[in-house]
Amino acid sequence: MFNKKGLYVFMLMFVLSIALIACGGDSDDAGNGADTDAETDSGNDDAAASGEQINLKFAHEEGQGDVQDLYANKFKELIEEKSDGNITVDVYTAGQLGSNMDVLQSLQTGAIEIAITSPGFSGDVIPESQIMAIPFLFSDNLEVNKKVLNESEALYGPLAEKYEEKGITPFKFWLEGFMWWTANKEITTPDDMKGVKMRTMPTSLIIKSYELMGANPTPTDSGEIYTMLQTKGIDGQENPLFYVYSSNFHEVQDYLMDSKHHIYTTVTAANQDFFEGLSQENQDLIREVVKEVNDWSFDMQDEEAEKALEGIKTEDIEIVELTSEQRQAFKELSLDAREEYKKESDAAKEIIETLEKEIEEAEAELGE
């Protein structure tokens, strides 16, 4: 049938076709049925399944040792462990990759793969994310807020879609603690708040909320707060306790008000193209680790708040309690912010009405 030469050619053809089939097979197994071409093009994706290295830039908005930094490094620790080192993470603190707004844009373009980005900075890019900017909307019971931020249909449905429309995949919304006011005067009534130059994050609904409460809101990036307080460019600001203490605001402020007028919320998210380019296996792994870190972060932020309060009590700043009547007076003034939010879009109206119901139901279950 074959002379010697014919036999060699046949053998060679046979070996070559085996080799070709072997190469083609790999990507199919690991991928999620998505087209392989896309997967092999962009360096990082799907590498883990085949043992290659995936390196993630994980940016956040705070300093070393702050709540977001502890979160990002916990993520790094767990994802590197669970991926046997196939996925590695470089964590970047505030300012290392530009301002908080720059980080948001880099997350949209894919220059950064993963980031913690707060609605206080994304509000003008994703107007519906300003739901997180409305004072006195969430519960005074942090367990209620934890449950809602973890399970809300409003947040993981219509709101998540709005992030995706901007090229961002939101994994989990989470909280960093109650917001407190600091100022160079005591503020317990709306009269006290009149004309106070209150620093806010640069989102229009936060600014509107402070105008409604009588203040003179001054939006700035986080890096400018200390100097502006020191030089009296602003009179006060709002932040969770850990951030007040780690930013040394007690050095340049005389009063710390237990206003609990809001909770600091944020979201852990990825660049959509990058994330959807990963294999299902890697997508599942990242989601699993984010969920684990998210659950862990609730107790962590609680501990950080307690530690900060103990520290602040040793400093030269007066801590002022607000009565529930005093808080109620501010709440009533801020209610118009909800109407403002509803005007953003039909989705916004659906989000706030659903979220208000979810908070009510969780309070009925867990207590106010």
Of the candidate spans 82-90, 104-112, 236-244, 334-342, the one that interacts with ligand 6CS by CB under 6 A turns out to be 236-244
Beta carbons within 8 Å of 282's beta carbon, 6+ residues apart: 45, 46, 48, 49, 54, 83, 87
* Site for ligand 6CS contains 240 (CB under 6 A): yes
* Site for ligand 6CS contains 176 (CB under 6 A): yes
Bridge partners, residue 59, by sequence: 92, 115
Strands (DSSP E) found in the chain: 54-59, 87-92, 114-117, 168-178, 180-183, 198-200, 218-219, 236-239, 255-258, 263-271, 318-321
Considering only 129, 145, 222, 297, the residue that binds ligand 6CS (CB under 6 A) is 222
Residue nearest to ligand 6CS (CB): 222
Cα angle 286-201-146, degrees, rounded to a multiple of 5: 45
Rounded to the nearest angstrom, the gap between the alpha carbon of residue 327 and the centroid of all alpha carbons in its chain is 27
Minimal distance in Å, beta carbon 16 to ligand 6CS? 58
Binding-site string for ligand 6CS from residue 21 to residue 60, where x marks contact by CB under 6 A and - marks none: ----------------------------------------
* Site for ligand 6CS contains 304 (CB under 6 A): no
Considering only 71, 174, 243, 341, the residue that binds ligand 6CS (CB under 6 A) is 243
Nearer to ligand 6CS, 241 or 362 (CB): 241
* Site for ligand 6CS contains 201 (CB under 6 A): yes
* Site for ligand 6CS contains 61 (CB under 6 A): yes
- Helix H or strand E segment including 27: helix 4-30
Beta carbons within 8 Å of 347's beta carbon, 6+ residues apart: 128, 158, 159, 161, 162
* Site for ligand 6CS contains 69 (CB under 6 A): no
Minimal distance in Å, beta carbon 60 to ligand 6CS? 8
Provide the pairing of β-strand 198-200 with 218-219. parallel
Nearer to ligand 6CS, 225 or 286 (CB): 225
Q: With 0-12 CB in 10 A as exposed, 13-18 as middle and 19+ as buried, what is 294? A: buried
Residues lying near ligand 6CS in the complex (CB under 6 A): 61-62, 100, 118, 176, 201, 222, 239-240, 243, 264
